Amino acid sequence: MASVFSAPTRNLDVVTLHEILRLRQDVFVVEQGCAYGDIDGRDLEPGTVQFWAGEGSVDATLRLLREPDGTERIGRVVTAARARGTGLAAQLIEAALAETRSPVVVIGAQAHLEQWYGRFGFVRSGEDYQEDAITHVPMTRTR
């Protein structure tokens, strides 16, 4: 089982932050062909926590955002091609959920992962929508 780490973005060392951003770019921008502004300023918000996993490298990552309305949002969930199917993303989701303070956590899931997120208690909370030419579904988990 790979090690799971978490820290507010502002507390990350430059190498770890670089590896997190590189992985997001490699998968979302290059592999999935979505030209979008991944560095959107939200990583630097005071309540944002980065989660990552791997053995000597960042093989999977996600971020936990604390929204102004009190809900929390999990986003930028990504796993390197070499590490897919190893359970890293599931470990990160579980770690992020364990750190949430709000009874409501939301996620904008790629539609083909709806059932996968359902394993963690997320349920569809709206209609499908397009984001960067990929069908997504809004999902909510309430404790």
Beta bridge partners of 52: 5, 61
Question: What pLDDT sits at residue 56?
Answer: 83
* Tokens 């939200």, located at residue: 42
Strands 134-142 and 129-131: antiparallel
Residues of the chain with pLDDT under 70: 1
- Calpha distance 82→67 (Å, rounded): 32
Kindly report the number of other CB atoms within 10 A of residue 98's CB atom: 8
Question: What pLDDT sits at residue 115?
Answer: 97
Question: What pLDDT sits at residue 1?
Answer: 65
What are the structure tokens assigned to 86, written together? 């190893």
